[in-house]
Amino acid sequence: MNQAQVTKLVSKLRINVAAEPRRLRSPKGPEGRLNKLRKTVTGLIKYERIELNYNRGDEARQYAERLISEAITHGDCHKPTMEIADYWLLEKELVHKLFKVLVPRYENCNTAYTRMYKAPRPQYSRNTEKAVLELRGNPYPPLVNKQHNNRHLIQNILLDAAKYDYRQAKYAEMAD
């Protein structure tokens, strides 16, 4: 009964994590798989938006989320966290970026730290799905145009005017 709850020990990620890790094929076995993912996580932290195969992107995303959440909870004075950061980030200047730039950016964030989109597949290619993986709050222009709620859009103006008309008609009915 004195056992600690596992959910309290491990930071809960805000993305869906598959029950089993994906096996990314590599001649070096599990170590080769981790090396691949380290490269991807490093690239993600460095460039903030990368395009890659869906499988590898989805797998690396989980590690990147975990790394950032560890950094946020423990800060840069915590030795095990620092070791994790040192392991996952192949370029050491990115360790500074993680603690000095990304931690302040995501401290008060209540969503996932990364975002993943399905990318168009090149024609006549092998059947590999592509994805775009990015850190939230990156400096690039947004990939999707979310303007549906912009009230100056022509469809919204028209609907707004129709609503106004309907209301006026109802008020007139009530007054009679």
Binding-site ranges for other proteins (CB under 8 A): 141, 145, 147-148, 150, 152-155, 157-162, 165
Nearer to other proteins, 77 or 144 (CB): 144
Task: Tell me if 90 sits within 8 A of 42, measured CB to CB.
Answer: yes
Which CB atom, from 17 or from 162, has the smaller least distance to other proteins? 162
CB of 114 to other proteins, least distance (A): 23
- Least distance between other proteins and beta carbon 152 (Å): 5
Q: Which is nearer to other proteins, 28 or 170 (CB)?
A: 170
Q: Are 156 and 150 in contact (CB under 8 A)?
A: yes
- Specify burial of residue 151 (Cβ count, 10 A radius: 0-12, 13-18, 19+): exposed
Nearest distance in Å: CB 101, other proteins: 24
Least distance (Å) between residue 176 CB and other proteins: 19
With beta carbons less than 8 A apart as the criterion, state whether 46 and 89 touch: no
CA-CA distance, 41 to 26, in Å (whole number)? 17
b/e code 41-62 from CB counts within 10 Å (16+ = b): bbbbbeebbbebebebbbbbbb
